[in-house]
Amino acid sequence: MSFAASEDAAAWEAAIDLYQQDAVVEAWELAQQAGLGDSGRYLRWYRLIEAEALLRAGSHRIPASAWMEVEYHPNEIDDPRPYVYLLKSAAEQVAKRFRWTDWAPTTVALLTSESDHRWAMHPYGFCIEKDDGYKIILPYDVLDDNAELQEAMRHEYAHVIAFELSDGQAPRWLEEAMCVSAEESLDSETKDEFLQDPESWRSPQDLEATLESFSDDESGEEEVWLAYQQCGWIGLYLLERGGEVRMADLMRAHRGGSGWNEFWIRLRRESPTDRGLRRLFGFGVSELFDRAYQRMARSR
Ligand SMILES: [Zn+2]
């Protein structure tokens, strides 16, 4: 059975709603019946829902701490305890770094090898706030390498902290600046790419759009990856200037609004990000982008 376009949209709305409730098997049944649409804009949801539904068929859960549990498939993982230990210690490391103590309920889903594919948007993982808490989704191949698993977890757990601090109101580029820094795997060789082609160092609006874009081809993937690296350089600069405590304060400066950034940018007035930056660091967004570029250019 297949739906017409408007029915597709309604079916996707219902599927995404079920997914938010973590009813991933029911969401998957609905998603398979709905069309992907010409733009393929539902493809990302389709893959996410599929991957979690594959895991849910026979998955087990093991508590990692009072605030975290790990969902895994016993066919893929005999003994989850070593992974649980690595995941928990990575999360604790990031929390300690950003002085974060308000643990939010979090489930880490370790996907099965069956759904192992490179996600253009989220090659190393994904973090989403569902109705009953945060869900961090990690692809199967990061389990191969303990260091990579911990990097991925540090990045995704930093999303939980960034989201909680900013109430989800910070621009995506700033959130990624914090998360790529927390990951601790900035590729310093990207410096040469940015210097050879200064246009690839994007403006705030362009960077935001690239992070949100979805691409299935290789050059698109490379662009998105480079955008993440730019965020990493910006994060590095902010941390050097103000440390983790001030970066956390910058996230908090976004609280209490709804769609504020877009609103202020449209009015061409000072956005909460600008205001927070000026108060805490002494410069605004566009100066931050210039300064981070210069800092990168001077690095060895
Ligand atoms: Zn991220």
Which CATH number belongs to the domain containing residue 129 in this structure?
A: 3.30.2010.30
Does residue 188 share a domain with residue 77?
A: no
Q: Write the single-letter amino acid at 236.
A: L
27 Cα–ligand 1 center, Å: 24
Are residues 67 and 130 located together in one domain of the fold? yes
Looking at the fold, whether 116 and 209 belong to one and the same domain comes out as no
243 and 128, same structural domain? Answer: no
Could you give the CA distance from residue 168 to residue 89 in angstroms, rounded to a whole number?
Answer: 25
Amino acid at 92: E
CA distance 56 to 110: 10
Distance from residue 82's CA to the centre of ligand 1 (Å): 24
Tens of pLDDT, residue by residue, the chain (300 residues)? 455 677 788 889 999 999 999 999 999 999 998 877 666 678 888 888 999 999 999 999 999 999 999 999 999 999 999 999 999 999 999 999 999 998 899 999 999 998 876 554 456 788 999 999 999 999 998 999 999 999 999 999 999 999 999 999 999 999 999 999 999 888 888 999 999 999 999 999 999 999 987 666 677 778 888 999 999 999 999 999 999 999 999 999 999 765 656 666 556 667 889 999 999 999 999 999 999 999 999 998
Regarding whether 247 and 160 lie in a shared domain, the answer is no
Question: Which among 196, 228, 193, 191 has a CA at the least distance from the CA of 210?
Answer: 228
Range of the domain at 203: 172-298
Q: How many domains does the chain have?
A: 3
Pair 294, 176 in one domain: yes
Strand 126-130 to 133-138 pairing: antiparallel
CA–centroid distance, 6 to ligand 1, in Å, is 32
> Residue 112 — left, alpha, or beta (φ > 0 → left; ψ -120 to 50 → alpha)?
beta
Q: Distance from the CA of 248 to the center of ligand 1, in angstroms?
A: 16
Q: Which residue is listed with tokens 């069309």?
A: 35
Whole-angstrom Cα distance, residue 300 to residue 296? 8
**Domain C-terminal end among 166, 197, 228:** 166
Choosing from 166, 197, 220, the residue where a domain stops is 166
Same-domain pairing of 106 and 143: yes
Q: Which residues lie at CB < 5 A from ion ligand 1?
A: 179
User: What is the per-residue DSSP string for 23-34?
Assistant: -HHHHHHHHHHS
pTM of the model: 0.91
Q: How far is the CA of 177 from the centre of ligand 1 (A)?
A: 9
